[in-house]
């Protein structure tokens, strides 16, 4: 199990690092798209992704989502549902 390998603090740090790297990548991608003169609608979607990812990184870093990093179902979630995908 993952909990035997990493504690919640380590998980939080790893996920935050990954999300912050996604933000850095998005920033660079947005700049490239602007330089190439790509469609503003595409750039707007990338900006939304970037802003959401930055917000998620801040929430992870704050510890507010620590229950999401624990093994087992999330609070309010039964064992049969593990995502919002409807499966």
CA distance from start to end of the chain: 23
Residue, of 64 and 75, whose pLDDT is higher: 64
Residue, of 15 and 3, whose pLDDT is higher: 15
Does the structure show a pLDDT above 90 at 77? no
pLDDT at 79 (0 to 100): 56
Mean pLDDT of 76-83: 59
Q: Which residues contact 30 (CB under 8 A, 6 or more apart)?
A: 43, 46, 47, 50
Q: How confident is the model at residue 5 (pLDDT cuts 50, 70, 90)?
A: confident
């Amino acid at each position: 199990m993952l909990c035997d390998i990493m504690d919640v603090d380590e998980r939080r740090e790893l996920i935050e690092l990954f999300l912050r790297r996604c933000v850095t990548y998005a920033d660079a991608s947005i700049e490239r798209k602007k330089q190439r003169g790509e469609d503003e609608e595409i750039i707007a979607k990338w900006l939304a992704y970037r802003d959401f990812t930055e917000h998620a990184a801040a929430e992870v870093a704050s510890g507010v989502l620590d229950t999401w990093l624990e093994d087992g179902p999330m609070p309010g979630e039964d064992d049969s549902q593990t995502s919002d995908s409807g499966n």
